[in-house]
Amino acid sequence: MRSPIVAIVVAVISTLASPTHAGEPAAAAGTVAKAEKCEHGVKRAICTRCNPKLIPVFKAKGDWCDEHGVPESQCAKCNPKLAKEGVK
């Protein structure tokens, strides 16, 4: 059974990971997304390198690359397309 905090964080991550938020034009979401990105090229709110406390959440979702120590969804080494999008 997940703790309520993990469930809330998973819900927030799922919402933040969506390409656009409901009701926002795509261009505005893209502009906001660039401003929110950290030095690793992912959204600051979901970056496990900036926020190590998020690691258990990604592992609980099964989104983890053991080889590179980042979520699989943020692993530019395993997903070259992410590297082209600026993920480091």
Calpha distance 83→12 (Å, rounded): 24
Q: What 3-state DSSP class applies to 17?
A: helix
Eight-state DSSP code of residue 20: S
Burial of 52 (0-12, 13-18, 19+ CB in 10 A): exposed
How much is the pTM?
A: 0.61
pLDDT bucket at 25, cuts 50 / 70 / 90: low
CB 10 within 8 A of CB 60: yes
* Amino acid of residue 9: V
> When comparing pLDDT for 30 and 62, which is higher?
62
For residue 32, the model assigns a pLDDT of: 52
